Structure 1
Amino acid sequence: MAHRGYHTAGAPENSVAALAAAQALEIYGSEFDVWVTADGRIVINHDKTFPGDSHVIENSTYDQLKNIKLSNGDIAPAALRADGIRGIDYTFSTISVRPDWIREAHDNGMVVNTWTVNAEQDMMSCIALGMDFITTNYPQTLKELLTKTFVVPN
């Protein structure tokens, strides 16, 4: 996995250019960080602000951030729909309070992973939410749950 994309070759960390560079190397995947803007847009960045800018991402709207430029000239708050980004992952505590992100990711052709889900009830919640991947320390328990049929209330 390329940590924050392939940025050691000159692209800024967590930028679309760094993710594309890792993809060009045919790396299995890239770890990168995301933030959610005040109006619910998911953007790529490591820190709570972009380099050289004072706007706190989670307190700012996408429109307030959309023209910030990175050192390579890329627009900073690249939305996750950029080419080559195939999935997202979050801790269970994060995704459980924002299940709409699962639908949004699926609507954009992305898969969703969550970690580290060890409680059986949490595993069942992930299954009911339509999680694509569930990272757990108890794979046998998860495997058994995946063979069962659950009724999900409307």
Structure 2
Amino acid sequence: MNIYQKTIATACLCLAALSIQAQTQVIAHRGYWKAEGSAQNSLASLRKAAEAKVYGAEFDVQMTADGIVVVNHDNTIGSTAISRATYEQIKDSKLKNGETLPTLQAYLEEGRKLKDLQLILEIKKNKNKEHEDQAVKTIVKMVKDMGMEKQTEYISFSLNVCEQLVKATSGASEIFYINGDLSPQEAKAKGFTGIDYNFKVFDQHPEWVEEAHRCGLKVNAWTTNKEEDLKRMRDLGVDFVTTDHPVEAIRLMKEKS
């Protein structure tokens, strides 16, 4: 192989590497809960997400009145408000696949076994700022104590939660604001590392994707389920899509690359 051929080969390898880096990654919304034997925010959904080889699994956490963090999307279980209940009152609650309501501790322990899976941890918004602040401290300490700061990424609709996360993590983890009402420049000024907005926000502000990348932010679009929406976000150049259909999404993301 002469020098010219080597140069061309090197250029092709570089282009291939850039192509791989540019491919939009897939995050399973509440884990891969549509898989057989799974359920939203279950330990099974976490394992199924890893088996599907997605970038990450998103899940939701709430803190009880006595400071135990559980994995659940809604702020209530039945008619019981999680933030006003003790863990004892809700600990035997069952998920749709028969699993018992998981604690964050159990979720992180399971996630730690899945080295190639990022854990996208959503701290749910609470009307009580003190409750939010304590939840952030409790969660960040648990993640740090378990040595999972790099494997865990944080998201929240709450501006306060995200601001508290910036202070508590000291740059050790990714922090994405997901409420959709800050421009990339405003999010960057807050110290966040990404914006994670409903895909319809990017339909209204497609320029925000490029603006975010210019100021060093990552971009995720949620919850992107329809094929046409997934393709549109992919072609817009978002870094991640969060979806209830991770296997189909992976196929679509690979098509472009």
Q: TM-score, normalised by structure 2?
A: 0.43
| Percent of pairs with identical residues | 34
For residues 96 and 80 of structure 1, the distance between their equivalents in structure 2, rounded to whole angstroms, comes to 15
Q: Which residue of 1 aligns with 2:136?
A: 98
> 5+ residue gaps in structure 1?
117-121, 141-154
Q: Which residue of 1 aligns with 2:50?
A: 23
For residues 68 and 135 of structure 2, the distance between their equivalents in structure 1, rounded to whole angstroms, comes to 16
Q: Which residue of 1 aligns with 2:97?
A: 72
Letter in 2 for 1:9: A
Q: 1:90·1:113 contact (CA, 8 Å) conserved in 2?
A: no
> 5+ residue gaps in structure 2?
1-26, 113-117, 157-162, 175-192, 195-211, 218-257
Q: 2:32·2:46 contact (CA, 8 Å) conserved in 1?
A: yes
1:9 matches 2:73: no
| 1:104 partner SS | helix
Q: Which residue of 2 aligns with 1:38?
A: 65
Please state how far the C-alpha of 1:100 moved relative to its aligned partner: 4.2
Structure 1 residues 72, 97: closer, same or farther in 2, change over 3 A? closer
Q: 1:114·1:131 contact (CA, 8 Å) conserved in 2?
A: no
1:75-86 equivalences in 2 (<5 Å): 75-76=100-101, 78-82=102-106, 83-84=110-111
For residues 98 and 12 of structure 1, the distance between their equivalents in structure 2, rounded to whole angstroms, comes to 26
1:57 matches 2:82: yes
More helix by share: 2
Letter in 1 for 2:86: T
Q: 1:102·1:130 contact (CA, 8 Å) conserved in 2?
A: no
